[in-house]
Amino acid sequence: MVVVPDHDDIARLVAARIATIVRARAAEGRPCVLGLATGSTPIGVYRELIRMHREEGLSFAHVTTFNLDEYYPMAPDNVHSYVRYMWENLFSQIDIPREQVHIPRGDLPRDEVEAHVVAYEAAIVKAGGIDFQLLGIGKTGHIGFNEPGSGAESRTRLVALDMVTRRDAAADFFGEENVPREAITMGVATILAAREVAILATGEHKAAIVRRAVEGEVAVDVAATFLQRHPGTTFYVDAAAAADLTRVATPWLLDEVKWTDALVLRAVVWLSQTTGKAVLKLTERDYAEHHLSSLLARHGSAGDVNGMIFNELGSRIRGRSKLPSGQRMICFSPHPDDDVISMGGILRKMVLNENQITVAYMTSGNIAVFDHDVRRYVDFLARLARDQRLDVEAIEAMRARVLAFLAQKKPGDVDSAEVQDIKRVIREAEAISGIETIGLTATAARFLNLPFYQTGKVRKDPIGPADVAIVKQLLRTERPQLVFVAGDLSDPHGTHRMCKEAIESALAELKADDPSFEQPEVWLYRGAWQEWPITEATWLVPISQDELRLKIQAIFKHQSQKDSAPFPGQDDREFWQRVDARNKETAAFLDRLGLAEYFAMEAYVVA
C-alpha cells in the first residue's frame, strides 16, 4: 500500500515504475508486456509516460499492450470506445507499433465473441504473460468489468454490467439508458496471472471500497479482494481514498501511535461516536476499553482531555460576527452553481459583512445542460422575436439550425459551437440569478470560461498555461485578501480538482513573478458530494433556518440542474436535497458531541 498526499504523486510513481520495467526488459533483449486500463484515474499516468517519451527518450517500440476491457457492442471509432480512448490519450503520442496494441473488440457479431476472447487469452500467453497490470477500482470493487459474482478462475469473457457500474458510467454516455449493458473483460484469473499489479484509487468517494478491498474478506462479491492473494500487488491511493483504512482512520487500534494534536482530536471524536456519549461525558473507563489509555497517560485525566477537545471544537465555530468584513474576496466556482451549492450560507454572511466579493465561474458548465432546455430557449427566442418585432429572420434561422442539429445528434456527440454557446448562456443567466438571490449583483460575476473545459466532451484537456494565465489575471486585477476554492475530489469528472490546480499554479506563479502581490488566505470548501469532517474543518459556520432556506432558493435558480441533473453522481437526490441534509447533519454531529446546537452548518478548511 502506497499512500500519497495528492493524485498527481500517484501518476508520477506509477509511470516511473512502468518506465523502469520497460527499460529493464529492453536491456534483457525481450519485449515488455503491459496490461492497461481506461477511465479518469490512469490518465495522469499516461500523460506522464508521454512526457517521459518526449523528454527522456522512453521508447515503447518493443512494448506489447493488452487492455482490460471494452463495452459491447461498441464500434472502435465511437466517442465512448476504449479503442478511441487509448489512441487519444496514449498510443498516438508514443512510438508503439499498432500491431503490438491489443484491445478487446466490441464490434464483433455475438456469435464470434467466444472465439475472440479465447484468442485474446492465447495472445497474452504467446506474448509471455503480462509484466505489469494497471488497474482502477469501481465502486462495487470491480477490476476490469469483473462485477460482483466474478470468480477467481474467470478468464476473458463477455459479461453483463452491474446496475451500479452502469449508473457510474451514465454521465459519460449522457444518460444511463445509453450505457451498454455488456462488456468484454479480462477475467480475475487473467489479471492475477500478471507478474506485478498496480491498482489506483483517488478521491473520497473511493475510500469505502478501498477499505473493503484491502481489509475485508476475500469474496466473489468484491473482485478487488482477490488481489490480496497476489504478492506483487500494490495499492496506490491518495490521502482522500485512504481515509477509511484502519491504519489511517483509527491507527491506535493497530499499534502504538505518536499522539499529535490532530490525532488526539480524531481519537476523542471517534470515542464519542463509538460510545454514544458527549465529549465531556467520556470516562477513563471509556478510554481504557477502547485502546486509548496511552492518550490519557500523555494528557492526564479524562476530564483534561475532554475539556481540551471540547474547547478546541468550540473555537472552530465562526458566526457572522467572527467572519471577515470589509475585505476583498474571490469565490472560485468550478461550475456555475458550485458557489451557492457549497457556500451559499457563508456568501450571504459575507454580503451582510460588506465584503467586496467576486464570484469567478471557472467553466461554462455547458455540457451539463440537456438538449430539451436548448429547444425550449430557442423556441422562447423565436416567439419573443415575433411578438416584439426583433430580427425574426435571424432568430428563426438560428432556431432552424439548432433544431436540425439536435434532431440528428446521437447520445454523447459533441455539440455544435452554436449549441455549446446557447448552453453556456443558459448557465450564465442561472448563475447571475443565483447570486442575486443571496444579495450580490450581476457585476460580482466573472465568467472565465477556461480553455481546458472547452472540448465539448465529458473528458477535458489537462490544465495548461492559458488556463493559469486567465486565473492569474483575475487575481492580479482583484488582489483578493481571501479566496474560496473547491477542495473536494469526488466531482465525477475531476473538474473541481483541475480548477484547484489552475488556482494553485496561478498563485505560485504570482508569488514568483510579482513580489508586490500579497498572497491571499485560501479557504477550501466542498461541493455537492461531500462535506469536510468535523475533525478536519478549520472553521464551522452556523447557518440559520432562514439562511438555509435562502441558500436553497439560490440553488433553485439553476433550473437546468433542477429535478434531474445531467451529472448527479451516485446520489439520486437533487443538489438542494443533498445540501439540506448535509448542512443539517454537520450541525447535528456537533450537537451529538455535546457542543452548541445549531440549525445547520457549512465547513471550511484553511489551506
Q: What is the set of active-site residues?
A: 147
Q: What is the CA radius of gyration of the chain?
A: 26
CB-based contact 210:242 (threshold 8 Å): yes
Chain center to CA of 239: 13
The most distant pair of C-alpha atoms in the chain lies apart, rounded to whole Å, by 82
Closest CA to 123 of 207, 57, 33: 33
* Backbone angles phi and psi of 89, in degrees to 5: -100, -10
Q: How far apart are CA 533 and CA 586, in angstroms?
A: 8
Dihedral of CA atoms 72, 73, 76, 79 in degrees, nearest 10, equals: -90
Contact present, 275 and 53 (Cβ < 8 Å): no
Provide the b/e sequence for 496-514 (b: ≥16 CB within 10 Å).
bbbbbbbbbbbbebbeeee
Write down the H helix ranges in 366-494. 371-388, 392-408, 417-437, 465-478
Question: CB–CB of 444/358 below 8 Å?
Answer: yes
- Residues 425, 428, 432, 433: what is their CA dihedral angle, to the nearest 10 degrees? 70
Nearest residue to 457 via CA among 528, 560, 530, 363: 363
Cell numbers found for residue 589: 454531529
Place of cell 477542495: 487
Strands 539-543 and 600-606: antiparallel
- In Å, how far are 77, 377, 383, 452 from 416, measured between CA atoms? 19, 16, 23, 17
CA–CA separation, 547 and 54 (whole Å): 53
H-helix segments, 276-354: 284-289, 293-299, 302-315, 338-352
- What single string gives the DSSP state of each residue in 103-114? ---SSS-HHHHH
**Residue 4 backbone phi and psi in degrees, to 5:** -125, 155
User: Given strand 445-447, what is the order of strands in its sheet?
Assistant: 445-447, 356-361, 328-333, 482-486, 521-525, 600-606, 539-543
